[in-house]
Amino acid sequence: MLTIAISDVRDLVLVLWGAVSILLTLIVLIVVAAILWFGRKGTAALHRLLNERGVPQLARVQKLADQVRDRTARLPGAPGSEAGPGELISAVQELKEIEPPFRRRIKSWRPF
5-47 pLDDT, tens per residue?
999 999 999 999 999 999 999 999 999 999 999 999 999 999 9
* pLDDT at position 3 over 90: no
Asked whether residue 52 is assigned to any structural domain, the reply reads yes
The pLDDT score that the predictor gives to residue 11 is 94
Asked whether residue 21 is assigned to any structural domain, the reply reads yes
| Residue 76 domain boundaries | 9-95
Asked whether residue 1 is assigned to any structural domain, the reply reads no
Asked whether residue 77 is assigned to any structural domain, the reply reads yes
The span from the CA of 90 to the CA of 96, in Å, is 10
Number of domains in the chain: 1
The span from the CA of 69 to the CA of 78, in Å, is 11
Question: SS3 of 111, please?
Answer: coil
The percentage of the chain sitting over the pLDDT mark of 70, rounded to a whole number, equals 64
Residue type (1 letter), 5: A
Asked whether residue 66 is assigned to any structural domain, the reply reads yes
Per the prediction, the chain carries an average pLDDT of 81
Asked whether residue 82 is assigned to any structural domain, the reply reads yes
Global confidence as pTM:
0.47
Asked whether residue 30 is assigned to any structural domain, the reply reads yes
Q: What is the band of 101 on the pLDDT scale with cuts at 50, 70, 90?
A: low
